[in-house]
Amino acid sequence: MQDRIKALLQLEPSDEMVRAEGWVRTKRDSKNVSFVEINDGSCLKGLQAVIDRSRFDSSLLDRITTGASIVAEGRIVPSQGGNQKTELSVDNLTVIGDCPQDYPLQKKRHTVEFLREKAYLRPRTNLFGAVTRVRNTMSYAVHSFFQENGFIYVNTPLISASDCEGAGEQFQVTTLDLGNVPMTEDDKVDYSKDFFGKMANLTVSGQLEGETYATAMKNIYTFGPTFRAENSNTTRHLAEFWMIEPEMAFCTLEGDMEWAEKFLKYIFSAVLEKNAEDMEFFSKFVLEGVEDTLRHVIESPFAHMTYTDAIKALEPENDRFEFPVKWGVEIQTEHEKFLTEHVAGCPVIVTDYPKDIKAFYMKLNDDGKTVRAMDVLAPRLGEIIGGSEREYRYDVLVNRMHELGLNPADYWWYLDLRKYGTVPHAGFGLGFERAVQYVTGVANIRDVIPYPRYAKSCEY
């Protein structure tokens, strides 16, 4: 097994032969030597390979071009140059895959828009390499956080046949011939002829199924793909994204908020600890000070505010908003940013939203007007977590369904949970890409996932 570049960079000079495999980032020639930077994605920096030109055929040296894959063997020696402590003094050199001049990633800074069109190559750039490593650290931290805290990982279905969730935003799953759709006598689509014998969709959230497992396993979490046919073209929405949804039984909104804060701080800390070099890069080239902001967020407690107080803080500022607020309206991104950046100066958890703007399953407060919902808002981004205490009282839940024009029969199993050993429980959803955006400072969500899917775009 060969060492990765990251490990080779740690080695002290010695006579031991080592082997570096990777892709050429840059090559600089002087009269007698060539300096080749080899990168293999294990870290931001490449290994500087120094090639004594007199020892190799010029035809071989000419094939060392930006993008080529090579294997270089030699010894780690002290570097003469100032940019690195050590370098590889090359004894054996093989070009595995040549890379012609039309390689799109020639040495210069490319715009993220250009790189989005070259999404199959962009992980070879500094920016996307760093994003990919940070994303990896965060995925791992998601699992370690929950595993260390006794949560059970549950895989909820991606195809969902309960036609009850988030109306309008769902992608339909069908094997019907769209050129010849079977119809019923009253001129509706005949889903009995479809694959599942009924209408099916891609999941917009695993929460309802997650609740069924939480009311057996106490604390569970999901971490998987989620699909929403979002038609809005924003920098924070994808049609396919990853969501983390913990659900805790014997838990109320207070516990829910504590878990959310502890969880965010844990995954942020993991990045500061494991990706120091990448974070330095983001602070320098992507968003100034993003690393310090993250440290500040980890060290300070999140602010808390009810929706009613949030509206009170926003109303006097209505002049500055595109959408002025009053009690009862949705809090939009511009308001979320104002609350976090100007009112609190840190992440804010807003609670107790009007029931009319939140989902049917959130626990009704005694005032009959608000529900036990909580959104975690982050500076720069707005909402990154949405959660709530769930309505666990059978009758209240049925009433809420009627109020919202939902048919309780469609949710028979969900209601059964409130019949068989019901218990207060709560949970939340974190959009994984929003968290990656927050940590890296990357402005557009399309640049923190390998192959972004959004309206009119499904490349690769």
Cβ closer to ligand ATP: 50 or 373? 373
**Of the residues 151, 241, 263, 302, which one makes contact with ligand ATP according to CB under 6 A:** 241
Q: How far is the CB of 61 from ligand ATP (least distance, A)?
A: 47
Q: Beta 382-389 vs 425-431: how paired, if at all?
A: antiparallel
Residue 41 in tokens: 């994605």
Cα separation of 2 and 72, whole Å? 11
**Of the residues 5, 115, 238, 397, which one makes contact with ligand ATP according to CB under 6 A:** 238
- The reply on whether position 397 binds ligand ATP by CB under 6 A is no
Cβ closer to ligand ATP: 200 or 243? 243
Cβ closer to ligand ATP: 96 or 455? 455
Helix pair angle (432-440, 253-274), 10° resolution: 50
Cβ closer to ligand ATP: 52 or 258? 258
Q: Any bridge partners for residue 219, and if so which?
A: 248
- The reply on whether position 353 binds ligand ATP by CB under 6 A is no
The Cα-based distances of 330 to 205, 324, 325, 333, 334 in angstroms read 21, 10, 8, 10, 11
- The reply on whether position 386 binds ligand ATP by CB under 6 A is yes
- The reply on whether position 429 binds ligand ATP by CB under 6 A is yes
Cα separation of 200 and 171, whole Å? 9
Q: Beta 33-39 vs 382-389: how paired, if at all?
A: unpaired
Cβ closer to ligand ATP: 124 or 434? 434
DSSP letters along 46-97, please? PEEEEEEGGGS-HHHHHT--TT-EEEEEEEEEE-SSSS-SEEEEEEEEEEEE
**Of the residues 40, 291, 391, 433, which one makes contact with ligand ATP according to CB under 6 A:** 433
Cβ closer to ligand ATP: 189 or 443? 443
- The reply on whether position 377 binds ligand ATP by CB under 6 A is no
- The reply on whether position 358 binds ligand ATP by CB under 6 A is no
Q: How far is the CB of 9 from ligand ATP (least distance, A)?
A: 35
Contact 66, 35 (CB under 8 A): no
Residue 142 in tokens: 């998601």
Residues 197-236 touching ligand ATP, rule: CB under 6 A, are 228, 230
**Of the residues 210, 431, 441, 452, which one makes contact with ligand ATP according to CB under 6 A:** 431
Residue 192 in tokens: 């009995």
Cβ closer to ligand ATP: 309 or 383? 383
- The reply on whether position 385 binds ligand ATP by CB under 6 A is yes
Contact window for ligand ATP (CB under 6 A) among 179-187, 267-275, 341-349, 383-391: 383-391
Q: How far is the CB of 279 from ligand ATP (least distance, A)?
A: 21
- The reply on whether position 347 binds ligand ATP by CB under 6 A is no
The size of the interface with ligand ATP (CB under 6 A), counted in residues, is 15
Cα separation of 433 and 380, whole Å? 14
Contact window for ligand ATP (CB under 6 A) among 40-48, 82-90, 286-294, 429-437: 429-437
- The reply on whether position 243 binds ligand ATP by CB under 6 A is yes
Q: What is the dihedral of CA 257, 259, 260, 264, to 10 degrees?
A: 140
Helix pair angle (253-274, 290-299), 10° resolution: 140
Cβ closer to ligand ATP: 99 or 449? 449
The amino acid that residue 315 corresponds to is E
Contact window for ligand ATP (CB under 6 A) among 42-50, 89-97, 179-187, 378-386: 378-386
Contact 307, 282 (CB under 8 A): no
Q: Any bridge partners for residue 71, and if so which?
A: 21, 94
Residue of 205, 153, 215 lying closest to 392 (CA atoms): 215
Over the Cα atoms of the chain, what is R_g? 27
Q: What is the dihedral of CA 276, 280, 281, 284, to 10 degrees?
A: 170
Q: How far is the CB of 411 from ligand ATP (least distance, A)?
A: 18
Residues engaged in binding ligand ATP (CB under 6 A): 228, 230, 237-238, 241, 243, 383-386, 429-431, 433-434
